[in-house]
Every structure is written in C-alpha cells, then in structure tokens.
Amino acid sequence: MPLMPEDMQKFFSPRSIAFVGVSRSAGRFGGLSFLTKYKEAGYAGGLYPINPKADHILGIKAWPDLESLPETPDLAMVAVAADKVPEVVVACARGGIRHIHLLTSGFDELGGEKGRLMKARLVAVCRENDVLLIGPNCMGPYRPASRLTAWGAIPGLAGPLGIISQSGGMTQRLTEYAASLGLGVEKAVSVGNGSVLDALDFLEAFGQDPAIRVIGMYLESVADGRRLMDLARGIGRTKPIVVIKGGQTEAGARTAASHTGALAGSRAIWEAVMRQANMISVETLDEWLDTLMIFAHIPAPASEKVFIIGGGGGSSVIYGDTCERAGLRVPPLSAQTMQALRQLTPEAGSIAGNPLDHWQVFSDAPYLARLIDLAEQDPGIGLILVDRLIARTAFHMDVTFDPTPDTLALLQQRSGTKPLVFVVDSEGGDPDLAARGAAVRALFGTAGYAVFPGIVRAARAIRRHTRYHEKRSRMI
C-alpha cells in the first residue's frame, strides 16, 4: 500500500495524537507508557488521552471518547485488548482518523487458528474503513525532529538514518547507540507484524524522503520478495540499504514465527535477493550500527587500500592480518612515504611501514597529523585507519591527559580528502577504561568520523562500504 507524503506527515509529524487504551495508573506497559514518554520527550502537539473514567491523566485533560475531542487528531495510538481492536478501528475511522499505531499484541504471532483469525479480522476492518495501520505488536513511528520519541533514544538526535524494523527492541537499541555516537535518525518505524502497512511500504516512502540518506532494515519476513527486490534495486542506487535478516537458522526462524508471525523463508533465497539488489547484509546489532555509521560518514566511494597507524608490534601484526582477512588491502607504502616515515620513527622498538607501529601516535596529536598528511600524499593509499588507543593503555607511558581534543582540533584544519576511520578499543574489563573509551568514541563520532570499538568491526564495516560501491558502479 503506497504511502503518500501526507500519510508520512500524519505518522511522523502529527499535529496531535489520541491515545486509546490508556489507564489512569502506571503498571503494565501500554498507552500510558507512550503518553508519558511523548510528554517527557517534549512533543509539542496535542495529546488526547481517551478514558471515560478520568478527568486528567498525567495532568493532561482526558476525554471520554473520540467523538468528544475538540479537533480530529492526525494519529491514534491504540493499546486496547486485542479483541477490542476492531471496534476501535471503526471508531477512529468514524472520527476521521485514518492513521493508527497499534501497540497491542496477540494476533498472528500467537500462531494457530486463533492467530490467523485475529489477523484476518484486523486486516478486513482496516480495508473496509480505509485505515492505514502500523502494527499490530509494535512500537510504531519515531522521529526526533518531531520529538515523536516515546521509545528509542529520547528525545533522540535528528540525522540521516531511516530505520524500518520488525523489532522495536532492536530499533530502540540502535537509535540509542547511534545517538550516543552523534549519529542521528530522520525517521524510524517499528512495524511489528506488518499486517496492514508493512516494511516495504515504508521502504518505498523512505526511498523518496530527501532527508534520509542511509536506510537500515531489520526484517524477519517479507510477503512479497519481488517487490523488495524491485524497490531495493531502485533505491539502492542512491541510498545504501543495510539489512539484518532475522530467522535465517532453524532456531531463529522458530522464534521469528512467535515474535511477529513471520515465515522467515529460506536463507539461500534471501541471500540471492540481497545480492542481486545490492543490499548490504549484516548479522548483528553491532554490525548494523557500524555499517549505517560508515555509510553516513563516508558518502563517496572509498578505496580498500588502507594505511594503518597504531602502535604495538603484536597489535600491528594482528591489525594487518585482520584487515586483509576482511578483504581489505594493507599495501607497502611508496618509497617517498617510507623515506619520510623513517625520519619520524626510531629504528628500534618501532616499525616504519604499513601498519605503522609507534606508540607516539597515542599521545602526540601533531605527530599523528603529520602521519595523516604523509598518507594523504601516497598514491597507493585510499583510506587511513587510526588506532587511537586511549592513553592509559599505552605501556609505561606516563600519559594522563586525553589527546583527543588536540587531535580533533588539528583534523579540523586538515585539507586532505582521504577518508579517516578511527578505532578506539577500550574493551579490557576495567570499568573506568570502558567509560573513557565510550566517551572518546562519542567525541570522534560527533565530529563526523566513523569510529569503532575494535579492529575487526572497523575492517568489516570498511569492506562492506567498498563492496557496495564496487558493485554499484558495475550496476549503474
């Protein structure tokens, strides 16, 4: 069902929202949770809780029914019991509300005859009443720019991502993770069982949305594989589409059936569809975030020839191995670069080469900036990967200051164009170190750099980026 710009407006920038199925007192998860969070997020439109037994809920005037509202809300957020849903859909339609977010679960994900009937009844009542419904069994729309953020990062951060998901939890965590790295979301939608509007309806709409540059999807099933392929082929030419396909194994598929009623389909078919449409396939939340981030921060095609700047002999060996195993190249540097590098690095205890091993990079921002300049001029290098170990992990160095602000200040003056990627690996058990690493990553991310907590994640994300662009250039 194609979504018109007006429909997107009503779902993601509603002027007012009615809440149907909102209890007076907190307890179970439901409409009140959403009302609370929309208020907390600073959503500025009208909030209309419907409850015939209450005058006010959370200090907001409550209304006995939809008919008594002073205006027609753009959106209804519905959380009544599953068997009451059809009559609420009819009431919404009568009141002029065509756009519904249905939180309630207990439809096809139950399985069996009961689940099938519940779904059929819901779909029929929406069709008969010309209602566009997100759900059931889902968290619905999310848009930081509208402060429409009852879930996920609250109030969230606006940015270039568009997220479409059959899992509210995965999207919640993704938006939180991205926001804390300075990466924002234009629109996200948790579609749940996708019984009326499904993931592909939103994919089509996001493809036309100029504010969305990179699309992420979490899918458990798709009713129409041909439509997915057609849409992805068209949209993927200008916007990378990064997909986690859940339910690719026996256990995953069994769980997906209970989660969103999805019949997950065979892995082989999925992989073929993904490949032919140049969608980028990832397997975990971390990979999803990493890949969305690298496409958001490095829009142009980048070369797979990486210069690794870091320190530690063993680390350098492993970093080189990891990048090449991931399908990147870590080529020898040009004679000219090597000559300049040898001036800058002592013979013993360091390794002038690619990877470059010299502890000084961890504490000396101007030195790091010189190395980056050298790489910029080496024609054999296309991308610069900096291992930015945080200070206290460097052995026997009495460094307590954080060189990150100096580094970022110097980088702002940089005239080079080769993409820079940072690794800040603070995993090592120590809580203080873990917190400092996360803080340093946030600084790099907010400054617009792709930043990763480990070399494996960095190398694989870079490779997904280069592979997408290689393939796109062949497809165009």
| For a second copy, the closer CB: 408 or 456 | 456
| Nearest CA among 144, 167, 165 for reference residue 154 | 144
Decide whether 63 or 107 has the Cβ nearer to a second copy: 107
- Beta-bridged to residue 164, according to DSSP, are 189, 217
Q: In this complex, which beta carbon is closest to a second copy, that of residue 317 or of residue 475?
A: 317
* CB of 406 vs a second copy, minimal distance in Å: 20
Candidates 206-214, 321-329, 402-410, 462-470: pick the segment binding a second copy (CB under 8 A): 321-329
CB 368 within 8 A of CB 386: yes
Query: Which pairs with CB-CB distance under 8 Å and at least 24 residues apart come from 144-148?
Result: 144/184, 144/185, 145/13, 145/186, 146/12, 146/13, 146/14, 146/43, 146/45, 147/38, 147/41, 147/42, 147/43, 147/44, 148/12, 148/13, 148/14, 148/38, 148/41, 148/43
Instruction: Choose the binding region for a second copy from 56-64, 67-75, 231-239, 450-458 (rule: CB under 8 A).
Output: 450-458
Nearer to a second copy, 410 or 439 (CB): 439
- Interface pick for a second copy out of 54, 211, 344, 442 (rule CB under 8 A): 442
SS3 348: coil
Nearer Cβ to a second copy, position 176 or 406?
Answer: 176
Q: By CB under 8 A, which span of 17-25, 206-214, 371-379, 427-435 interacts with a second copy?
A: 427-435
Q: How far is the CB of 373 from a second copy (least distance, A)?
A: 22
Q: How far apart are CA 317 and CA 297, in angstroms?
A: 27
Does 165 interact with a second copy (rule: CB under 8 A)? Answer: yes
- Taken in order 63, 66, 71, 75, the sign of the CA dihedral is positive
Helices (H), 59-144: 85-94, 112-128
Asked if 332 is part of the footprint of a second copy (rule: CB under 8 A), the reply reads yes
d(CA 382, CA 403): 25
Interface pick for a second copy out of 360, 454, 471, 472 (rule CB under 8 A): 454
CA dihedral 366, 369, 374, 377 (to 10 degrees): -140
Please say which residue, 186 or 220, places its beta carbon nearer to a second copy. Answer: 220
Rule CB under 8 A: choose which of 220, 304, 378, 387 binds a second copy: 220
Distance CA 227, CA 230 (A): 5
**Which of residues 119, 143, 147, 259 is near a second copy by CB under 8 A?**
259
Interaction of residue 447 with a second copy, rule CB under 8 A:
no
Beta carbon nearer to a second copy, 93 or 323: 323
Residue 297 one-letter amino acid:
H
Told to check if 83 binds a second copy by CB under 8 A, we report: no
- Say whether residue 324 binds a second copy (CB under 8 A): yes
246 binding a second copy? (CB under 8 A) = yes
Residue 331 DSSP SS3:
coil
Residue list 2-31, contact with a second copy (CB under 8 A): 29
Q: Which of 217, 279, 294, 323 binds a second copy (CB under 8 A)?
A: 323
- Please enumerate, as own/partner, the contacts of 206-210 that have beta carbons within 8 Å and a separation of 24 or more: 206/162, 206/164, 206/235, 206/239, 207/231, 207/234, 207/235, 207/239, 209/8, 209/162
CB nearer to a second copy: pick between 259 and 297: 259
Residues between 99 and 128 that touch a second copy (CB under 8 A): 105-106, 110
Check residue 348 for interaction with a second copy (CB under 8 A).
yes
Q: What is the DSSP string of 71-87?
A: S--SEEEE-S-GGGHHH
Q: Measured between alpha carbons, how far is 48 from 271 in angstroms, rounded to an integer?
A: 45
CA 270 vs CA 125, 164, 276: distances in Å? 32, 17, 10
Q: At what angle do helices 85-94 and 112-128 cross, to 10 degrees?
A: 10
Closest CA to 194 of 305, 268, 102: 102
The distance of closest approach from Cβ of residue 237 to a second copy in the complex, given in angstroms and rounded to an integer, is 28
Residue keyed to tokens 């200070």: 391
Nearest approach, Cβ of residue 111 and a second copy (Å): 10
Per rule CB under 8 A, is residue 349 in the interface with a second copy? yes
Q: Which range binds a second copy by CB under 8 A, 90-98, 376-384, 388-396, 405-413?
A: 388-396
Region near a second copy per CB under 8 A, out of 60-68, 295-303, 313-321, 463-471: 313-321
| Nearest residue (CB) to a second copy, 130 versus 250 | 250
Applying CB under 8 A, does 314 fall inside the site for a second copy? yes
The answer to the question of residue 184 lying near a second copy (CB under 8 A) is: no
Q: Please say which residue, 248 or 337, places its beta carbon nearer to a second copy.
A: 248
- Is residue 55 involved in binding a second copy (CB under 8 A)? no
Q: What's the chain's Rg over C-alpha atoms?
A: 25
Stretch that binds a second copy, among 15-23, 294-302, 310-318, 365-373 (CB under 8 A): 310-318
| Residue 283 interacts with a second copy (CB under 8 A): yes or no | yes
CA 60 to chain CA centroid, Å, is 33
Q: Is 281 in the site for a second copy (CB under 8 A)?
A: no
The reply on whether position 218 binds a second copy by CB under 8 A is yes
Taking the least distance from each CB to a second copy, the nearer of 162 and 236 is 162
Whether residue 346 has a cis bond before it, omega within 30° of 0: no
